Amino acid sequence: MEKPICLIAARGGSKGVPGKNIRKLGGKPLIAYAIESAIKSSLFSNVIVTTEDKKIAKIAKQFGADVPFLRPKKLATDTVDYNKVILHAITKLKSLGYEFDTIVSRDCTVPFIRNSDMKKAIKLLKKENCDLVCGVYQQHHNPYFNMMELDSNGYLKFSKKMKTNYQRRQDAPIVYQLNGLFVFNVQQFLKYEKIYMPKTIPLEIPPETGHMIDTEFEFQIADCVAKKIIKLE
């Protein structure tokens, strides 16, 4: 059985946190966490970074990733369809002779995903014969209980219509937060050309390891965690 590849997408034009993907987190570039853990896991035939940014490509290579192509700039905007990024990467890699039937897509803005989480997700994909395994954690912000949106008149309403008026969050249906770990069957992705496919199942991982960085505040939290991990090591 072929080993999967690890695919890490990192563009240079982050707006929420400028230069986020190569900004120092706990003393090393953010993207280094995803690359180093993937290599250390020995789960993958190749660890690939897809980027349009030459500086990101250089740093990715320094930490051991393969960067066999540069992504077109039109696939690196903040509005690009991520499905097209994946499709482009698969097409390029196949044309270059890479062989794989499974991809583990790791968001480099989620630096603390554990090797054990990736291993479990790969095993779950094979065991359940599904299309996609998503890393998730249970979210306490819940559209059935404490999340609202504006109606056409500008008044607040609950985001989900409810038959039951839940008085406690614990009684509401469980909802999940995606955390940047996607393990999928390549053949099925090429069939649907989208990552969210019919046979998608969750793999719960702890919220502290699924911490995603989209804002400066979240980056500062991650930096504190990273420095604590370094001290423990």
pLDDT, tens digit, 9 for 90 and up, residues 74-87: 999 888 999 999 99
Give the count of beta carbons closer than 10 Å to the beta carbon of residue 19. 15
Report the pLDDT value the prediction gives residue 208, as an integer from 0 to 100: 83
- Residues 9 and 104 both lie in one domain: yes
Confidence of residue 170 (pLDDT cuts 50, 70, 90): confident
187: Cβ–Cβ under 8 A, 6 or more apart, which residues?
Answer: 101
Burial class of residue 110 in the structure, from the number of CB atoms within 10 Å of its CB (0-12 exposed, 13-18 middle, 19+ buried):
buried
Query: Domain with 45 in it: what CATH number?
Result: 3.90.550.10
Total domains, the chain: 2
Amino acid, res. 162:
M
- Residues 68 and 158 both lie in one domain: no
In whole angstroms, give the CA distance from residue 180 to residue 186. Answer: 17
Report the pLDDT value the prediction gives residue 15, as an integer from 0 to 100: 73
- Residues 196 and 162 both lie in one domain: no
Q: Return the closest-CA partner of residue 105 out of 29, 6, 227, 174.
A: 6
Q: Which helix (H) or strand (E) covers residue 30, if one does? A: helix 30-41
Buried/exposed 59-94: b ≥16 CB within 10 Å, e otherwise: bbeebebbbbbebeeebbeeebeeeebbbbbbebbe
Mean pLDDT score, 125-146:
90
User: What's this model's pTM, rounded to 2 decimal places?
Assistant: 0.89
- Residues 109 and 144 both lie in one domain: no
- Residues 26 and 58 both lie in one domain: yes
Q: Which residue has the tokens 């793999």?
A: 203
Amino acid, res. 105:
S
| 60-69, 84-93, 155-164, 191-200: least confidently modelled range | 155-164
In this predicted structure, the answer to whether residue 180 has a pLDDT above a threshold of 60 is: yes
In this predicted structure, the answer to whether residue 202 has a pLDDT above a threshold of 90 is: yes
- Residues 49 and 68 both lie in one domain: yes
Residue 215 belongs to domain spanning: 5-139+180-232
- Residues 49 and 110 both lie in one domain: yes
- Residues 74 and 109 both lie in one domain: yes
- Residues 147 and 222 both lie in one domain: no
In this predicted structure, the answer to whether residue 113 has a pLDDT above a threshold of 50 is: yes
- Residues 78 and 166 both lie in one domain: no
Domain final residue, candidates 174, 198, 222: 174
- Residues 153 and 186 both lie in one domain: no
- Residues 103 and 168 both lie in one domain: no
| 8-22, 41-55, 86-100, 154-168: least confidently modelled range | 154-168
Report the pLDDT value the prediction gives residue 74, as an integer from 0 to 100: 93
